Amino acid sequence: MADKLRVGVIGSGGMTQNHSRGYLNSGQYEIVALADLSPQVMTEYDEAFAEYDDYNAEHFTDFRVMLETAKPDIVSIGVWHSGHAPMTVAAAAAGGVKAILCEKPMADSLSAAADMLMVCERNNVKLVIGHQRRFLPAYTLAKQMIEDGEIGDVRLITSVAGDGLPNYASHQTDMFRYLLGDVECTWVMGNVERETDHWERSTQIEDKALAVFGFENDAQAMIVSDLTPVRWQGARIYGSEGMIEMTTDDLFLMNAKSGGWAQHKPDGEFFKYGADRFEWVEGGAGQARELADWASGRSDYHRGNGLNGYKALEMVHAVYESARLHVQVEMPMKTMVNPLDLMIEDGHLPIRYPGKHDIRASRLRGENLGADTDNS
């Protein structure tokens, strides 16, 4: 085991389970520690990974004690949004940590996300944000087709999201940049509706949203969030000479050469197309493999690095800022707190139907349905 990276996991929810499967399926890690407020949940987590020889997690109910005692090389953070920044800062400052994989969205404000970048840079810790879809074969193939000119110049990318912009839509904003070669977003214009006291993992969210994004290569992208009954993760990409319709599993290409819609079903590097939960297992393993290379000095880049995670969050918050100021927002953002919170505090979005509801409350245990923080 000496040559494998030692992982400490913070939070025992579904997203760190995806992180852990990625680590274990890549064959380059040993999971040595698990921190959560609930001993029961940690026991259930152990059961989920009982088949893996490289899962040997010691339990901790305090993540700081875990950092001090287990001394992991890699720290995975999969708690609710407000915990991302303080836990990342603590892990980066603990000493001995080589890299951190933090679940998306990166933080609940740009100020907190900037702190994460600063502290990790200061302590020479690699930071990755969990946008694992950058490793999906269909996404990577679509990116390659765009680079090869299969659909000419990209004019517009459209996508559908839901459950609040920070959740699904941060995947979409990250996807836009990935498909376009990580070009800079230069402006954002959007609007939101919030008539209910709607929350998502202790973060205030909108009921509906619509946004348009402009990029430095003159491409544009659009997100429709919670406005349609059909929700799917992927995109339709319109080019000057063709189109791509892409999901998290496969894609269809139409251009002059194909003469119609041609389906492509690319296999992953770790799993075949059609594998159970293909997106999660392939994306997680690819993300972990590239993290091992980066943390060990075999490469100098990770496609899910913290700066890319910051820019995905910035695009989401720019939608809120556009709605707050009623203008097209020029990037980079100047407002570093969450503009949606500002609108709510200022009475800009009065609640018509009172009653706080967190759409993730079912994931809490016991009587904590109204809890403001959670470790799962």
In order along its 376 residues, the chain shows pLDDT tens digits of 458 999 999 999 889 999 999 999 999 999 999 999 999 999 999 999 999 999 999 999 999 999 999 999 999 999 999 999 999 999 999 999 999 999 999 999 999 999 999 999 999 999 999 999 999 999 999 999 999 999 999 999 999 998 999 988 999 999 999 999 999 999 999 999 999 999 998 899 999 999 999 999 999 999 999 888 766 789 999 999 999 999 999 999 999 999 999 999 999 999 999 898 898 899 999 999 999 999 999 999 999 999 999 999 999 999 999 999 999 999 999 999 999 999 999 999 999 999 998 888 876 665 555 444 333 3
Closest to 23 in 3D by CA, of 95, 162, 126, 130:
130
208-215, strands of its sheet edge to edge: 262-264, 251-255, 242-247, 234-239, 154-161, 220-225, 208-215, 185-193, 329-330
Contact yes or no for 76/91 (Cβ under 8 A): no
User: Coil, strand or helix: which one is 155?
Assistant: strand
3-class secondary-structure state, position 96: coil
Q: How far is Cα 150 from Cα 142, in angstroms, rounded to an integer?
A: 9
User: Mutual orientation of helices 110-122 and 84-93 as an angle, nearest 10°?
Assistant: 10
Burial, 259: exposed, middle or buried (Cβ in 10 Å; 0-12, 13-18, 19+)?
exposed
Domains plus CATH for the chain?
5-133+278-304 (3.40.50.720)
